[in-house]
Amino acid sequence: MKKLFLLVTSLCLLSIIFIPVLASADGLVPCTGANCTICSFFQMLANIYDFIVKMIATPLAVIALSVGGIMMMVSSGNPNLASNGKKVIYAAIIGLLLVWCSWLIIDFVLQTIGYGSGGSWATLGGSCK
């Protein structure tokens, strides 16, 4: 019963946090109808990336860091709970670094295969603004 209450409470709190964020996700697609070009596609990819990094991944990592810290604080001598808290913190930090560095990884791969010239994905079409 306690697990069900905890699950329902955490889902309600997450919905309070993320529903306004998802509602403000307008503007991901930069074009409408016939004025869509390849530049619009790459701009849409950049918008989706920014949305995922700024609005989803970073707040989730902050929540995971908080949960890991709380687990370590309330372990009170329980080595399993303290080690689980450390694992959560390490996983959150590594995940956040991967998310933040993914732009560099993707740009490096595109430059290696000779497609990108650095800068923005929106300029990969060549004649973009």
Cα–Cα distance measured from residue 28 to residue 50, given in angstroms and rounded to the nearest whole number: 9
Per-residue pLDDT reduced to its tens digit, 6-59 = 777 877 777 776 666 555 555 777 777 777 777 777 777 777 888 888 888 888
Q: Is the pTM here over 0.85, yes or no?
A: no
Contacts of 96 (CB under 8 A, 6+ apart): 57, 58, 61
Query: What count of residues does the chain have?
Result: 129
CB 49 within 8 A of CB 103: yes
For the purposes of burial, counting CB atoms within 10 Å of the CB of 56, is it exposed (0-12), middle (13-18) or buried (19 or more)? middle
Q: Which helix (H) or strand (E) holds 82?
A: helix 79-112
